[in-house]
Structure 1
Amino acid sequence: MNTATLDSAGASASMPTPATTAEDAALFRKITWRLMPLLCVCYVLNYLDRTNVGYAQLQMKEQLGFSDAVFGLGAGIFFIGYAVFEIPSNLMLAKIGVRATLLRIMGLWGLASAAMMFATTPTQFYVLRFLIGVFEAGFAPGVLFYLTLWFPSHRRAQATALFFMAFGAAPIVAGPIAGLTMTYLDGVMSLRGWQWLFLLEGVPSVLLGIVAFRWLSNSPAQAPWLSATEKQRVARLLADDQAANGATERHTFGAAMRDGRVWLIGFMSFLIILGIYALSFWQPTILKSMGLSVLQIGFYAVIPAVAGIAANLVVGRHSDRRKERRWHFALSAVVGAAGLALTTLFMHNAVAAVLCLALASMGISAAFTVLWSVPGTFMSKSAAAAGIALISTIGGSAGLVAPMMVGALKTMTGGFTASLYVLSGALVLSALLMLVALPASALGRTKR
């Protein structure tokens, strides 16, 4: 296995000195603290605006007469808009930069989310959900592409883990915020609780888009908070990293679209996200079927979320340190599969089931983080924007498939056991694809 350093000055590169290693670590800590807190807060708001309809429907159903079918179709329409505009949005980001892109994305999705407070008919509901998907398209893959402009491949898994940590943390705050808003603001200024929820979670996205525009830099070269020496060092490390990993081979959007590795990683992402969205939509129902109250469900659901965050950070950091992706992903996916399969044995024991779901969350979250550190390794900057967006589009389609699949299997079998086995099998398949199908060229010069 090739363990050559990624920080080389040429073909005859030597190992970095301890001083250089320490200086680089301090430099990337500086970059991390500048970029990641704001990007993580943006991702939390992204989650809230995407999923708040799940809480809002608790009141909207009764007050507007919307059926479960209406809400189900609204969820699907969101992902249609998201998938159609994902790649165009990322291609635009590569041309105009992340500052203008986040201002556009967050401003428009925030306004559309806030406008949901005025929806009174199914048609209005569908149109706004579609528009939220259109406007939100490109956010997550755009940030993942943005990270490739700042972090070499051997530091990218940890940065990716921090970003996805926000997605894992969002469910912890989503429920309490929704519950408090819809309970204590219901009727204030003649607005219902669900209307306040859309307004108070939509407007902050607009404001944060403005903050991102002023705070972030499009690239290290344009960062006034980096010294000239630091800019040169980052540029050198990134150039050496791409050269070492052969990432200069492909330069066009068409090349990324024709790259079999991109499609394979996209399919692996789809298999992982099946588990993510299935748990997001159905975990509360699973816990409710065990006899838990709504309040108990809220507290129990925190445990898998916290476990997933911890695994994200630990596995991402360890993968970067060892410069190894293949086994970190595969073992994490298998752990997730084991957690889902074991849950079926404890459907009448809430504590044991939650611990199994926590194990599943740990494996799924860690596998997802490690997988997203791979694409930027073998794609050039110009191809990465399209390639990452294509991977995200393929994987994101699981958001439409997973809830319907689990619901259909539940209807057919009367429980969740069959769907948990299917999701477990999907994770095992993703692990096998990583071990035997993904070519070594997709992993650069990390350990295979």
Structure 2
Amino acid sequence: MNLESTADIAASAPASEAALSVTVAKVARRLIPFLCILYFFAYLDRFNVGFAALTMNHDLGLSVAAYGFAASMFFWGYILFEVPSNLVLGKVGARFWISRIMVTWGLISAATIFVTGGTSLSALRFLLGAAEAGFLPGILVYLTEWFPRGDRARMIGMFQIAMPLSGVLGAPVSSLILAHMHGLGGLAGWKWLFLTQGLPSVLLGISCLWLLPSRPSEAKWLGTSERLQLERVLDAERRQTEAVRKFTLREGFTNPRVLVLALLFFCLVCGSTGVGFFLPLIVKDFGLPTVQIGVVTAIPYLLSVIGMVWWSRRSDAKGKRIEYVALAAIFAAAGFLLAAFTLKTPVVAVIGLSMGCIGVFASFPVFWTLPPSFLTGITAAASMAFINSLGNVSGVVGPGFIGWTRDVSGGFTLMLAILAVLMTGAAALSLVFARMNRRATPASLSRI
């Protein structure tokens, strides 16, 4: 049986496949837009420091390298608290814990208005990472409790379009805040940036307590038959996965496939952090004013929204996973390489940067279907948090290292070339995982 096919499982259920599709669509309409909004602000609060840097660095007297180091402190907190946070989520439930995460990160992000230099900025970034830890893997595990395998790449893709959307909407809005709110109430524009983009997360976090049921059985907006059918399908899929092999919690951290996925994710996150923290600064080197920087920066993100949705839908339709991760990584590598050598030609450079963004972001929703393909339950939750933690080590070393390359080389060519190499490495690791998976999984269950 093809593990990716909802239809195969639904065929044995009392209701029809069509009825299951209607239920899945109803769940998607109810949950995905709200989750997308949550992630939008999570990603915005994580990377709005990249726009703040346009004026904040001067006000605080930070070099690019010093800024990169402070920005990277987010990932120290994120990595250290990621797995513990996800384990707590498994105990107390998604509704309460996601609410807690959002309220605390929103308050800390807003508190960045009080920083006075590199040390205080580093401390706040560390606390922001600790507060946000567990959010993404927690949501990804949450989605496995609601959507059958054959629908997951599409649903994760719809949820994760919040990442590039934060650039599409966040970039021009951030530039307008910097340009037009500077001095209002005696606050610098970059302080208004953190304040106006941090406080909404607090309100959204509180609303989670009413809008996020933990599982289908708690969803009053589903009919009784819909709840029963959906849980029956999801339980059948879990049993199928565990019939191949049920991994212990310890194996969720030590299994070779998990380690390869962690290294693969590290390469992919290098691309997203490089773009998130430095794309505004790259565009600034084109000689554009602040508002135009926001508009041009939004272009790669806008195209990434389209690419992410299209690529994840194709992955579901074709039932292919790891191949689509590899192809997206190769596309990103080509784009970063093109941009690296055309920075003196802004139009071509933006095309290359757009290709890089599209490839990186399109790979994420397909990538996150891989761990639940062979892990279940608390092991899957802990393993996904572990993969996310190790992947985000790139955020610790990347910004500081990239800032250093900018300081010593006087441009971003070296940085983009390094990102191209890392994306090529991600493609190679995808092939390694595919080979390992074929050896570990029976032929009738190995279609990922």
Note whether the superposition's TM-score is higher than 0.5: yes
Residue number in structure 1 paired with 2:201: 205
Structure-2-length-normalised TM-score: 0.91
Corresponding residue to 2:426 among 424, 430, 446: 430
Deviates more, 1:280-289 or 1:346-355: 280-289
- Aligned CA RMSD, in angstroms, stands at 2.6
TM superposition shift of 1:120: 3.1
Residue number in structure 1 paired with 2:30: 34
For residues 247 and 372 of structure 1, the distance between their equivalents in structure 2, rounded to whole angstroms, comes to: 21
Residue number in structure 2 paired with 1:318: 314
Corresponding residue to 1:440 among 437, 440, 444: 437
For residues 419 and 198 of structure 1, the distance between their equivalents in structure 2, rounded to whole angstroms, comes to: 27
Q: 1:61 to 1:354 in 2, by over 3 A?
A: closer
The one-character-per-residue Cα deviations of 1:59-94 (angstroms, maximum 9, x if unpaired) are: 444545455555333212211111100000000111
Amino acid at match of 1:167: M
Deviates more, 1:311-320 or 1:437-446: 437-446
Partners of 1:247 and 1:377 within 8 A in 2: no
Structure-1-length-normalised TM-score: 0.91
- Report the 3-state secondary structure (helix = DSSP H, G, I; strand = E; otherwise coil) of the residue aligned with 1:180: helix
Correspondence list, 1:33-432, <5 A? 33-66=29-62, 68=64, 70-246=66-242, 249-250=245-246, 252-432=248-428
- Report the 3-state secondary structure (helix = DSSP H, G, I; strand = E; otherwise coil) of the residue aligned with 2:250: helix
Deviates more, 1:113-122 or 1:213-222: 113-122
Q: 1:364 to 1:63 in 2, by over 3 A?
A: closer
For residues 134 and 4 of structure 2, the distance between their equivalents in structure 1, rounded to whole angstroms, comes to: 33
Gaps of 5+ in 2: none
Deviates more, 1:71-80 or 1:279-288: 279-288
- Report the 3-state secondary structure (helix = DSSP H, G, I; strand = E; otherwise coil) of the residue aligned with 2:116: coil
- Report the 3-state secondary structure (helix = DSSP H, G, I; strand = E; otherwise coil) of the residue aligned with 1:348: coil
The one-character-per-residue Cα deviations of 1:3-62 (angstroms, maximum 9, x if unpaired) are: 4774488xxx79679x82322221111111111111111111112222233333444445
Aligned pair count reads 444
Deviates more, 1:50-59 or 1:163-172: 50-59
The one-character-per-residue Cα deviations of 1:124-170 (angstroms, maximum 9, x if unpaired) are: 33332221111111111111111111112221101111121011110
Q: 1:328 to 1:52 in 2, by over 3 A?
A: closer
Q: 1:298 to 1:58 in 2, by over 3 A?
A: closer
The one-character-per-residue Cα deviations of 1:299-321 (angstroms, maximum 9, x if unpaired) are: 22222111111111111011112
Deviates more, 1:71-80 or 1:103-112: 71-80
Amino acid at match of 1:217: P
Q: 1:161 to 1:30 in 2, by over 3 A?
A: same
RCO higher in structure (CA 8 A, sep ≥6): 2
For residues 254 and 61 of structure 1, the distance between their equivalents in structure 2, rounded to whole angstroms, comes to: 43
- Report the 3-state secondary structure (helix = DSSP H, G, I; strand = E; otherwise coil) of the residue aligned with 1:346: coil
TM superposition shift of 1:110: 1.1
Deviates more, 1:145-154 or 1:335-344: 335-344
Gaps of 5+ in 1: none
Q: 1:247 to 1:297 in 2, by over 3 A?
A: farther
Partners of 1:106 and 1:209 within 8 A in 2: yes
Partners of 2:303 and 2:354 within 8 A in 1: yes
